[in-house]
Amino acid sequence: MKPLYIISSSCISPQNTFDETVLFDGNEVKTAHENILSCIEPDYKGFINPVQIRRMSRALKLGFSTAIDCLRKSPVKEMDAIIIGIGKGCMIDTEAFLHSIRDYNETALNPTHFIHSTYNQLNGMIALDQKINSYNVTYAHRGFSFEHTLIDASLLIDADEAKHVLIGSFDEMTPEHFFIKQKWGYWKNEITDSKALFLSNSPGTLAGEGYGFFVLGAEKTCADQVSILAVQTLYNPSDEEILQAIQSILTAHQLEAASVDLLMLGNNGDNRQQHRDELLTTVLHEATPLYFKHLCGEYDTASQFGFWLLSHVLKRQQIPESLYHPSQRSDSLKRNQVCTTIQ
């Protein structure tokens, strides 16, 4: 694949990421409240007109604001595609419509929640507001929804079908969804502080949510632009298949395992899912492992938050203290454009 340059990005998360500098300049880390990390909402007035603010649901307002912010930051305004990945979509609307079907015995229902529960709503809203008449698609593929937006953008750029692509992903956590997944053992039983997530040694994780958008381009718009060289998803892989895939990516880019500086791990503090970390840190033995799920919580498109963080780490050549394992000490970053995100 041709390199995909990250021209601009925007991220709304449970941390102060909408103001990009905070995580990097300060050490302020927001912690989970009763095992849920909820997004910090911006002042929507800067992004959405007042009539729309009243009409749009929370997930759509957050997603829309992130996308508009990302487009405003981009020196390139003409988008050739909009590609969005969603794990569960607008849960508040899905739940509200399920409730109204029951509460009103399937009669005289308001269609708004139904419309908003449709997976491609945000795609349509961004296209409509920004008059982007183009290729437009929504992936709804659980843990790989965000990765498929990268793959599709890469396909378009490889085939010269697009020069600039707006990609993004989002998922929202609701009290009801948290409660249901609690029953199935997804979350920690004990109230866990974000900072202590990786020391907990118990099953379950913290719940989270997040919104992120990126303008990707076929060409650089500045000298030190971070780029994506390879992206690959593996479905139910064996350890051997994971190692093979890493090796083939390294070989394709004439790299040694030892030349990878950083490894962003998808570890979510659930002690039932730790062995992959060992596999990865063993093969990429020189890479400093970094962690992000204590900052955003677990949700289908959480890898997007890790990806956003890494892109800023590379751009700034600076690693926020909060990304290290609590037992690690910080280390200076060698300059390199390779990064690996594993979920």
Partner 1 sequence: MNQKIVVSGMGLYTALGKGLQTNFDSLSSQAHALTPLHFLDTAHALEFPFGEIKISTSALLDTLKLPRNKGYTRTSLLGITAMQEALANAGIDRHAGLKVGIINATTVRGMCEVEKYYFKMLEEEGDFSEFSDTIDCADCTHRLADHFKIKDYVTTISTACSSSANAIILGTRLVNQGHLDIAICGGTDALTRFTINGFNALKNIDKQPCKPFDEARNGLNLGEGAAYLVIEKETSCLQRNHKPIAEMKGYCNFNESFHATAPNPKGEGAYQVMKRALLKAQLEPNDIHYINAHGTATLTNDESEANAMKRLFGSVPSFSSTKCYTGHTLAAAGAVEAIFSILALEQQCVYANLNFANPIPDSALIPQLFHEKKQLQNVMSNSFAFGGNNASLIFSKMESKR
Q: Does 183 bind partner 1 (CB under 8 A)?
A: yes
Contact at 8 Å (CB) between 260 and 336? Answer: yes
Q: Does 109 bind partner 1 (CB under 8 A)?
A: yes
Q: Which window, 40-48, 126-134, 216-224, 305-313, contacts partner 1 (CB under 8 A)?
A: 126-134
Nearest approach in angstroms of CB 121 to partner 1 is 6
Rounded distance between C-alpha atoms, residue 88 and residue 333, angstroms: 36
Nearer Cβ to partner 1 (137/333): 137
Nearest approach in angstroms of CB 200 to partner 1 is 23
Q: Tell me the sheet residues that pair with 211.
A: 12, 170
Q: Does 52 bind partner 1 (CB under 8 A)?
A: no
Nearer Cβ to partner 1 (26/237): 237
Distance of CA 128 to the CA centre of its chain: 24
Whose CA is closest to 279, among 304, 324, 320, 247?
247
Rounded distance between C-alpha atoms, residue 6 and residue 74, angstroms: 10
Nearest approach in angstroms of CB 235 to partner 1 is 4
Q: Count of residues for the chain? A: 343
Nearer Cβ to partner 1 (188/312): 188
Residues that bind partner 1 (rule: CB under 8 A) add up to a total of: 58
Nearest approach in angstroms of CB 160 to partner 1 is 11
Choose which of 50, 160, 184, 256 interacts with partner 1 (CB under 8 A).
Answer: 184
Q: Which window, 67-75, 86-94, 252-260, 328-336, contacts partner 1 (CB under 8 A)?
A: 86-94
Nearer Cβ to partner 1 (253/334): 253
Q: Which positions from 162 through 181 interact with partner 1, judged by CB under 8 A?
A: 176, 179-181
Pair of tokens at residue 59:
């997930």
Q: Does 160 bind partner 1 (CB under 8 A)?
A: no
Choose which of 5, 47, 144, 305 interacts with partner 1 (CB under 8 A).
Answer: 144
Nearest approach in angstroms of CB 137 to partner 1 is 6
Question: Which residues contact partner 1 (rule: CB under 8 A)?
Answer: 82, 86-88, 94, 97-98, 101-102, 105-107, 109-111, 114-115, 117-121, 123-125, 127-128, 130-144, 148, 152, 155, 158-159, 176, 179-181, 183-184, 233-236, 300
